[in-house]
Structure 1
């Protein structure tokens, strides 16, 4: 049973990620003399100053996520974000100063992005951001590349985590784990199979979606808001991007959808993605030993999950 990392271990992990980013940046020809950590949670985000380049280095990952599995997903993110930028969509784009591909160094796999100055005086307006997500979906509909169906749900990670959590009663009790496993038996077939999803939800269209709570991943740049962090970009229903966010943000999204001539959110699909989202929350408990503060976010959500209908009310029959 792995222990929770200490602050000293987190500091060493961050330092190693910074060193790798600096070394990779210099190897690509960038001038880096004053690297600054901008963000450190699931990834270490480093401004490779004075170059206008930011490196994002994932550091908190599922146990099965090796370099070989990270790079294809990172390349997809770079491809989608670069295409959006080329279409004039307001995104944080890949850096034009280095090749548009992930770089592996010292056991890390990283990507490089254009540095954008943050407007730190603004509080995030998640309701307004949710309405903007409809604009993003409208732009993504034309993306010509191939995307995997609901890869953002990370079904293999959920499956593996629900097995590993049996050995972690310090993270989840047996009754909760039993319910989560039974819910996953109902939901997993629809997550893994596009035909199964389409049979369950006939007429619900699929398209490229952000994949990772876009209302919380809109960056407040000094010159305006920018969509960011497409690490989990996927093919799925638009409802996926509003999973577990509640009625206020759902209503805001619907306003944006109407403005773009798009359909409103489907209540049945919302129930499904909310249920899947909660199981992803439970599976994230396995990351808590790497990131102890995570429990402060996960446990309240799990407490709320206990009061919700089994599998979001969805049944396989």
Structure 2
């Protein structure tokens, strides 16, 4: 993936065009070789697997993600201290790495050689996560709306009418959230737990992606998989075994429909900063946005690729 001809970017949203130069700069800081790196995924972050070492480089794709990257490093260290089944930061390097106007983290690669993770796996990991003591640093309060609004502000490739509608939808949903009566004890939450954030390691699945870790309602951590069953075009029901393993079914709680609206808003806005710079996203994004705007809760969404 390394190139010597791509100009070094000066910050802002990451794009496929600027990614090689940013990767070169990050690897130069870390003393790693970017030659032959392979792109794993590029949505709101770019994740790349190095060919020269068992390392995954994760580069923040937008301003909204960059603001949480120091917290991600702190959370990863905290989870490692408690021997949680989670991905580990690459040791011996001061993190996060800031290079070419972008922020990145580097991780020990987990060989994806185990069986496909299940909802039951995620339910058990979430029970352990929610049982952890408070960390020795302050977690931010759960607030999905600030990040949603930042992504709308940073959006590329949508018109003013779409932008205004999304902001109005955000305000209406935030008001509804404030009126919720939660039943589970609040505390540290992952923020975005779903099977796609489990790596099928040789010793069992490990949890990744700590951008959304915060202090908030545990019901939120049970919502992504529940919404996935209702909204996403998944061939497997992960929600039922997750609820059984965790010991609670969030869909039976009266406030679930409100958190479903939050989750769907997150899923629609998450790629807005990359909508123009990563053209392949638009084909998945447009049906999501159209059905959300039409209050169509039956249309199934495909995953971003």
Give TM-score scaled by structure 2 length.
0.73
Q: Could you tell me which of 243, 247, 253 is aligned with 1:267?
A: 253
Cα distance in structure 2, aligned partners of 1:32 and 1:166? 32
Q: 1:190 to 1:104 in 2, by over 3 A?
A: farther
Q: Could you tell me which of 223, 231, 251 is aligned with 2:240?
A: 251
Offset, 1:180: 4.3
Cα distance in structure 2, aligned partners of 1:13 and 1:166? 16
Pair 1:286 & 2:272 matched: yes
Offset, 1:227: 0.6
Number of the residue aligned with 1:302: 289
Q: Could you tell me which of 82, 102, 105 is aligned with 2:99?
A: 105
Q: Which stretch has the larger CA shift, 45-54 or 222-231?
A: 45-54
Offset, 1:150: 1.7
Q: 1:231 to 1:15 in 2, by over 3 A?
A: same
Pair 1:224 & 2:204 matched: yes
Cα distance in structure 2, aligned partners of 1:291 and 1:158? 19
Pair 1:148 & 2:148 matched: no
TM-superposition CA deviations, 1:24-51 (whole Å, max 9, x none)? 111xxxx537552242413333445544
Higher helix share: 1
Aligned residues of 2:16 and 2:278 also touching (Cα < 8 A): no
Q: 1:308 to 1:10 in 2, by over 3 A?
A: closer
Offset, 1:290: 2.2
Offset, 1:74: 1.4
SS in 2 for 1:208: strand
* Equivalent pairs, count: 271
Cα distance in structure 2, aligned partners of 1:251 and 1:87? 28
Number of the residue aligned with 1:53: 55
Cα distance in structure 1, aligned partners of 2:27 and 2:156? 40
Aligned residues of 1:282 and 1:302 also touching (Cα < 8 A): yes
Q: 1:271 to 1:141 in 2, by over 3 A?
A: farther
Number of the residue aligned with 2:129: 137
Cα distance in structure 2, aligned partners of 1:240 and 1:230? 15
Give TM-score scaled by structure 1 length.
0.71
Number of the residue aligned with 2:73: 78
Cα distance in structure 2, aligned partners of 1:292 and 1:238? 35
Number of the residue aligned with 1:25: 30
Q: 1:11 to 1:138 in 2, by over 3 A?
A: closer
- Pairwise mapping of residues 186-265 of structure 1 onto structure 2 (< 5 A)? 186-189=172-175, 197=178, 200-241=180-221, 242-243=223-224, 244-246=227-229, 248-258=237-247, 263-265=248-250
Aligned residues of 2:180 and 2:255 also touching (Cα < 8 A): no
Q: 1:250 to 1:117 in 2, by over 3 A?
A: closer
Listed as ranges, the gaps of 5+ residues in structure 1 are 1-8, 192-196, 310-317
Offset, 1:204: 4.1
Number of the residue aligned with 1:36: 37
TM-superposition CA deviations, 1:249-293 (whole Å, max 9, x none)? 3322221222xxxx5426233212210122223334633112222
